[in-house]
Chain A
Amino acid sequence: MFVLETKDLTYVYGAGTPFHKTAVNRVSVGIERGEFLGIIGHTGSGKSTFIQTLNGLLRPTSGTVLLNGKDIWAEPKKIRSVRFRVGMVFQYPEHQLFEETVLKDICFGPGNMGLSAAQAEERARRAAKFVGLDDELLGKSPFELSGGQKRRAAIAGVIAMDPDVLVLDEPTAGLDPQGRDMLLEQISAYHRARGSTVILVSHSMEDIARFADRVLVMNEGRAVMLDKTKNVFARGRELEAMGLRVPQITSILLTLREKGYPVRPVLTVDEAVEELRPLLRKGGAHHAQ
């Protein structure tokens, strides 16, 4: 059974008005438990709308969303409980911090779940460790933290709810390459340690290539591809036709492949080196070091 599944999911903005827009159009996907799923698509492809239907922030115009096989809208009054199981981190999450101390803010989610103050605090501290926030920062006001620290505090606030599925919408937006790498490593470590399902929405193909097991490609509100990462990026030309890119390294080897060279699609520089080394040796270009 999929941890999350959508069946013919459709979401229309402004139905019946001049602003009618079908943002998500009959999307049926199944998300495996414990997988790291990447979602890519051009701006306006519907991916932001789609993920908001997964945790019940948006109610589908038609179609269903199933969490562990159960329709999340079966009991609309209990929809809040879904948000504790499907945690969502929005873009620039540091903009949601509001409490007097970082610790209190991280406790906000667990507190809303009905946990006792002690339980909430324990969860908060654990979450803070996961994202690499030092203990000494916990007692400070969130507004005293640096940008990177604030972001991690905000993400900790969602992780502290210990959701089964963690959805992150462009978590590295605005970060420099170093910050981006650190954050993604932490998310990956969390994924492995906790065994939870992670859904990463991103415009950075390199990040998706590095971390995602499978990739969902959305285009004009529809799900057009859902496959293992390597298989998706191997269809580079199709992605380009949709206005998407592939990681530069993938593009390089795809170009070589199209010219007739016997190389397989790769996702990282390491893989490319492995792939090219034997061929280059054959080409006689090797000099003794």
Chain B
Amino acid sequence: MDKSYLSAENVSYAYPAREDEESFEVLHGVDLGIRKGEFVALLGHNGSGKSTLAKHFNALLLPAGGKVYVDGLDTMDESLKLEIRRRVGLVLQNPDNQLVASVVEEDVAFGPENLGVPPPEIRRRVDDALRAVGMYDYRLNAPYKLSGGQKQRVAIAGIIAMQPDCIVLDEPTAMLDPRGRTEVLDTIHSLNRGKGITIVLITHYMDEAVGADRVVVMDDGRILTQGTPREVFSQVRLLKAHQLDVPQATELVWRLRREGFDLPECALDTAECVAALEKLLPRPQKI
């Protein structure tokens, strides 16, 4: 076993559609290693298997074939389940349906309470976790009065309070408005950079993947391609062939390149695109 913190080895899985999945969620022999401290984005459209794979990392699902290891622990081992879930937290899509208590700080305490942490220590962890997500001022509020982005941050705090090594987030921003999305993304980036927490972000938003260390694209239960955001998004033809989007900046540069203009292989955002175009455009007439 290599230096991967999370390791999926030839993982296969199949189960019949839940009432709101488009098709059978299936994984076909997936191999994926995630290193400690990495920020990995798992991209793909619905039915690609990305959510299914994510749920293997905290032993919520067990592989039908192959193995999944968390910090060397085999997820198939029933006795290690709680320890695995302490190390790998999972944040889900619906902000409301993750919060259990009627007061924010009590909800954040839920995880440590389950782990049998001594009460004074729980208090410390709850305060730290709420500060880390920027929700300390709301600790006595009721969840139903919070916005979607705030609720998700409280859910994340609830995970941090268990002091995990890794947080897996399954489309955490899918139900949020733009402000909520920014809040949540900023939070997870700061947790990754500031506290070194490994992040696995499952998403279908290209602009969220752009900020990752590594992007893994899944389709049809398999890994289609992976690499740095630049490496992945420059494969525009491949992505389009699988009905996947690229950022508009990337597409623009790709199209112009195809027409023969000497532009770099890949522009990931507005700034890069503007810079690349400026090199080729005739100097502007200053008014």
Asked if the two chains touch in their complex, CB atoms less than 8 Å apart, one says yes
Bound Cα distance from A141 to B285, whole angstroms: 64
Beyond the given pairs A174-B175, A252-B274, 18 more chain A to chain B contacts, judged by CB atoms under 8 angstroms and listed by A's residue number, are A42-B179, A43-B179, A148-B22, A148-B46, A174-B174, A176-B45, A177-B204, A203-B177, A247-B248, A248-B270, A252-B249, A255-B270, A273-B255, A277-B256, A280-B256, A280-B277, A283-B281, A284-B282
Query: Does B21 lie at the interface of the complex (its beta carbon under 8 Å from any beta carbon of A)?
Result: yes
Query: Does B244 lie at the interface of the complex (its beta carbon under 8 Å from any beta carbon of A)?
Result: yes
Bound Cα distance from A176 to B245, whole angstroms: 10
When distances are taken between beta carbons in the complex, the residues of chain A under 8 Å from B248 are 206, 247-249, 252, 269
Q: Which residues of A contact B (CB under 8 A)?
A: 42-43, 143-148, 150, 173-174, 176-179, 203, 206, 243, 245, 247-249, 251-252, 255-256, 259-262, 269, 272-273, 276-277, 279-280, 282-289
Bound Cα distance from A260 to B285, whole angstroms: 6
B interface majority secondary structure: loop
Q: Which residues of B contact A (CB under 8 A)?
A: 17, 19-23, 45-46, 93, 147, 174-175, 177-179, 204, 206, 243-245, 247-249, 251-252, 255-256, 259-262, 269-270, 273-274, 277-278, 280-282, 284-287
Number of A-B contacts (CB under 8 A): 115
Shortest Cβ gap from B26 to chain A (Å): 15
Contact of B261 among A206, A243, A255, A285 (CB under 8 A): A285
Bound Cα distance from A286 to B258, whole angstroms: 11
- Asked if A260 meets B259 with Cβ closer than 8 Å, knowing A176-B46, A248-B248, the reply is no
User: Contact between B262 and A144 (Cβ–Cβ < 8 Å)?
Assistant: no
Bound Cα distance from A10 to B59, whole angstroms: 53
User: Contact between B252 and A261 (Cβ–Cβ < 8 Å)?
Assistant: no
When distances are taken between beta carbons in the complex, the residues of chain A under 8 Å from B260 are 286-289
Contact of B281 among A147, A176, A251, A261 (CB under 8 A): A261
* Closest residue of B by beta carbon distance from A272: B252
Bound Cα distance from A247 to B45, whole angstroms: 21
19 A-B interface contacts by CB (under 8 A): A43-B177, A146-B17, A146-B21, A148-B22, A173-B175, A176-B46, A178-B45, A178-B243, A245-B178, A248-B270, A252-B249, A252-B270, A256-B278, A259-B278, A261-B284, A269-B251, A280-B281, A282-B282, A285-B280
